[in-house]
Amino acid sequence: MSPLPPPPPPPPANGSNPSGHKHPGKSTWGRLGAKKSADKGNLPKDGQKPQGRGPLPRWAVWIIAAFAVLLLIGPRLWPTTTGDKLTYTEFLTLVREGKVEKVSINNATNQISGELTSGRNFSTTGAPLLSDADEELLKARGVDYNYRTPQPNWFTSLVPVLLPFLLIVGFFVWMQRRAMGQAGNIMSIGRSRAKNYDASKPSTTFADVAGYDGVKMEIKEVVDFLRMPEQFKEIGARVPKGILLVGPPGTGKTLFARAVAGEAGVGFLSVTGSDFMEMFVGVGASRVRDLFQQARKMGRAIIFIDEIDSIGRKRGAGLGGGHDEREQTLNQMLAEMDGFETSEGIVIMAATNRPDILDPALLRPGRFDRQIIVPLPEFEERLAILKVHSRDKRMGTDVDLDTMARATPGMSGADLANLVNESALFAVRRGSKQIERIDFENARDRVVLGASRESLVLSVEEKRATAYHEAGHAILATVLTHSDPLHKVTILPRGMALGVTWTLPEERHTYSKDYFEDVICKAMGGRVAEMIVFGHLNSGAANDLEQATSIARRMVREWGMSQAVGPMAWTTQQQVFLGEDLMTNGREYSDDTAKLIDGEIARILREQENRARDVLEKHRRGLDLVAGKLLEEETIDGQAVGRLVQQGLSGAPAGTVAPTDTHL
């Protein structure tokens, strides 16, 4: 009997999952708060990082250098005058006093300069022509004067002619260099964008990959082939040309590929599927050819293509034709994978989390002829991953990674790394110098259930209704035979939920019909508890009903757990991009069968609702005790709920009973 696929994990009972994370194996049941309209306003746009000014172009540098030269040699090229600045009246007074030795008059600027009898120079500005009286005064005082017309400097006469010419020449040189740069970019657009990692300095080995011993054993023969290819040639063995790593996101597929390169000590070319695509026709195929040429030059190398599903989708699928750029890139890759021999020492590795949409020609023997599943880590692997990510952290003595590994089923390696980092952030917020157990607990609640909404204040009636709602979930999780063990229950708002009941499912690979019925019964617990205590319903059970209906539908349609429908399964319609016909009818069964399926789903839900009512009426006193404890402490663990249930059955005096009026 093939193992059944795991059921859809019940997400936190908050009506939605804003963070987008779904952890299989974590069951949370809670009361959904009514959605309130949010003030959308004008949200700030995602600002880009301000870019600083780039380096100056070469023509600007030349202009700055020319100005610097002019500042240095300009005073030497242009005539200047030095000495005392006098007014024309002061100049005539000095002439009358006989203190002027000689005078030179510039016909172009009307500037008068000269030398005093004391040896000092002077300058002044007079009329265009000296009057007869002034000339007589100069003659009478014996002043040596003359008129002069200075010749223009050769440099100043060439500047008006050379400057426009130099600017035009510089502009054409700049345009030519820009054109050459663009031509160079166009010529190199078909080159591969693969990153080449240095084989002599491996940054990742198998020691850096915690757990996954089975995956390591499958990949080890690739490493042995790259290290010792002669042994394989002697016996005639052929190592697979292509290895496809398949698994959910965050399980470390890329990390495995880098570890293989580090262990083998060969060249490692890494590229993503999107790097092959460009707006120009034929660029993708050209980059594929260049990538394999680079690998051949290395002799022995590993080509790793991450997210290969972006270019490896089925050809001819959907509305597109068979000559688009993506399909031509895939055709070239298929040809290149058949174009070299295994003895060349080139191994292709690829990673994807969507193997169902890959082209069959890509997966046939001789290409990607081996698929290695990289699943979500089990308990031992989660423990090893937590130890790897915690080795550079300052951990407290009360931290038990073994307990934390058991409490995080369904988490990937990336989730566990984020969990350790979140716990460190919580420790910093508390002002602690080390990570303690309470930090791990808060980080796990933050990752799984969402952020705590301390600003949300519930009314007395809302808080009381939430307490009974969560108490209904908690009691059913405690007393049902096939239920997952209860971890804790809280009425503190987290995420979009007003309260959460958290169970920790045991790791299993097949699920029974009794298990699914208990899951649906637990989902009905909050709704039924409110009906028993208050006699009316509200919107708090919306997410519970959604989870229960989804599981009941899969029981009838996919898992054959309905006697009326029988051993038949109908999956969801395949999408157009998977190669299905656009006009195919989405339903594979008749109207009579659809009516039968709907009736069976409704029957399962009704039966489990009635079952939940019978159990909670039997444990009516325990329901009051658990709700009262929640109103008092807001959060209680599974063991405390079990003691309160036993106390309710034994009829012992209640420690704290939930009040029946509006006063808490």
**Highest mean predicted confidence (pLDDT) among 6-10, 225-229, 332-336, 580-584:** 332-336
How many whole angstroms separate alpha carbon 258 and alpha carbon 253? 9
Q: What does the pLDDT look like over 506-560, one tens digit per residue?
A: 777 788 999 999 999 999 999 999 999 998 888 888 889 999 999 999 999 999 9
Q: What pLDDT score was predicted for residue 8? A: 46
8 Å CB contact between 344 and 240 = no
CB-neighbour burial class of residue 329 (10 A; exposed 0-12, middle 13-18, buried 19+): buried
Percent of the chain with pLDDT over 90: 13
Report residue 187's pLDDT band, with 50, 70 and 90 as the boundaries: very low
Q: What pLDDT score was predicted for residue 357? A: 83
SS (H, E, C) 558-626: CCCCCCCCCCCCCCCCCCHHHCCCCCCCCCCCCHHHHHHHHHHHHHHHHHHHHHHHHHHHHCHHHHHHH
Q: 119: which 2 tokens?
A: 């040896």
Nearest Cα neighbor of 424 from 438, 434, 416, 411 is 434
Q: What does the pLDDT look like over 424-434, one tens digit per residue?
A: 999 998 888 88
How many whole angstroms separate alpha carbon 91 and alpha carbon 315? 99
Residues 222-235, mean pLDDT to the nearest whole number: 76
Which residues share a beta bridge with 635? 490
Residues 198-207, mean pLDDT to the nearest whole number: 64
Radius of gyration (Cα) for the chain, nearest Å? 42
Q: Which helix (H) or strand (E) holds 116?
A: strand 111-116
Active site residue 441: no
Q: Is 98 left (phi over 0), alpha (psi -120 to 50) or beta?
A: left
pLDDT at 35 over 50: no
Residue of 325, 381, 462, 470 with catalytic role: 470
Report residue 46's pLDDT band, with 50, 70 and 90 as the boundaries: very low
Q: 131: which 2 tokens?
A: 């009057």
**Highest mean predicted confidence (pLDDT) among 105-119, 159-173, 537-551:** 537-551
Q: What pLDDT score was predicted for residue 96? A: 83
Q: What pLDDT score was predicted for residue 202? A: 54
Q: What are phi and psi of 19, to 5 degrees?
A: -80, -15
